[in-house]
Amino acid sequence: MKILFIGFGNVAKEMARIFTERKLYPALDISPEVIGIFTKRHGGLENSSGICLDTVLTELRQNDRLTADERELSPLTPLEAAEKLDYDVLVELSSLSISGKGEPAVSHIRAALKRGKSVASANKGPVGFHYRELRDLAEENGALYLFESAVMDGAPLFNFCRRCMKGATITGFSGILNGTTNFILSHMEKGGSLEEGIKLAQEAGIAEADPSMDIDGWDPAAKTAALANVLMDSDITPLDVAREGIRSVTPEMAQEAVKRGMRLKLICRGSREGNTVRASVEVEEVSREDIFCLVSHYGSALRIESDLMNPNTIVQECPDLLDTAYGVIEDLITIRDHLDTHSRLPLK
C-alpha cells in the first residue's frame, strides 16, 4: 500500500515511529510504503521506490530537515502531489483551519478522491465543513474517506456507530471533546488561574503555542459539527454551532460549582428538532451523578443516543499521540482490506 503524507507533524511522526518499531506491536499487520511526504515548513519529498521513515525521523530530530539527499526533494506543492503522484492512500494530517473553512486540507482530500484514491485523515475541518461533498465523492469513485482520529483522538466512536449500531437512528449526542479545556477547568477547581492552566497544558504537550482554538471553543465546535454531519446526516459547519469557550470562567466559579456537588465542563451537544439538527458548545454545570463528572485532566467522553438503544457512552482516559496515531493506522488497515477486496473482484 503506497502512502502519501500531507502534513508531517507530531501525529505523523508517531505513526512513523510505530511503523519503524513494528516489533513492539506484534499484532499490527500492515506494511506501508511511503512514497511522498509534504509539509508546510520543510517542503516535500518524493521517492517512487519508498522513503526510509527511520532516516526522516533522524533528520528531523537532529538537523530539522526531512532529508540529506537532495535527489528526494520535490518541487511539487502538496496539492500537486495529491493530484499527480502514484499512491494508494492519502494520509492528510495538516492543521485545522476555521478561517479557511477546512482549506487547504479539503482541496487535498478532494483531489485524491477524484482520482479514486482513499483518504485517512485526523483533520476535523473537512468533516466539519464539507462532509457530504467528500463522502459522496468517495462513493462515486470507489474510494474510502475515513477520519477516526478527527474526534476523540482515535477512540473508535465512528467505527462503533458504523459497525455496532446498524439499523439504529442516532437522535442526539453530548460529550467532553476538548482535553485542553477540560484540563484547565480541572486546574481552576484547585484555585489555579486560566493563564496558569494554559501554561501547564502547553508544558504537558496538550495545548498549542496559540491555545485560542481550544479556549474560544473552535476546536470542539469543529468536532461537534463533524459528529452532527456524520452521525445525524446534518449539513452544518462549525460556524453554525452555538459556541462558548472558557475565557469567562474564573477559579471562583469552578470552585463554587464543586462546593455544590457539581463540576464545570465544556459540553458539546447535538440534538434533532424536527428536520433540524441543533448543535452547541457551552460551559455547563455537571452533576456528580453524571459520568461526565468523572472525566478529569485531558480525558474525553461522548454519550450517543438512539431510537433502538439506551445511551452508550465512550470514555477515553488521558489520550496521547499514540491514540491519535493508532486511529489513523486503523483507518489505513480498513482501507488496506478495502483495496484487497476490490482487487480480488472479477472483472465484469
Q: Return the active site residues.
A: 223
| Cell triple for 5 | 503524507
Q: Tell me the C-alpha distance between 202 and 190, whole Å.
A: 18
Beta carbons of 172 and 276 less than 8 angstroms apart: no
Beta carbons of 131 and 121 less than 8 angstroms apart: no
Which of these, 261, 313, 254, 255, lies nearest to 283 by C-alpha position? Answer: 254
| Cell triple for 27 | 499484532
Residue 118: count of CB within 10 angstroms of its CB: 26
Which of these, 110, 227, 72, lies nearest to 161 by C-alpha position? Answer: 227
> CA 56, 329, 33, 41 torsion: positive or negative?
negative
Q: Which residues pair with 175 in a beta bridge?
A: 268, 302
Find where cell 482515535 sits.
154
DSSP per-residue letters across 227-270: HHHHHH-----GGGSEE--STT--HHHHHHHHHTTEEEEEEEEE
**What's the farthest any 2 CA atoms get from each other in the chain?**
69
What phi and psi, each to the nearest 5 degrees, are found at residue 313? Answer: -120, 125
| Cell triple for 342 | 476490490
Beta carbons of 297 and 201 less than 8 angstroms apart: no
| Cell triple for 53 | 521513515
Beta carbons of 160 and 170 less than 8 angstroms apart: no
Task: Output DSSP code: residue 344.
Answer: H
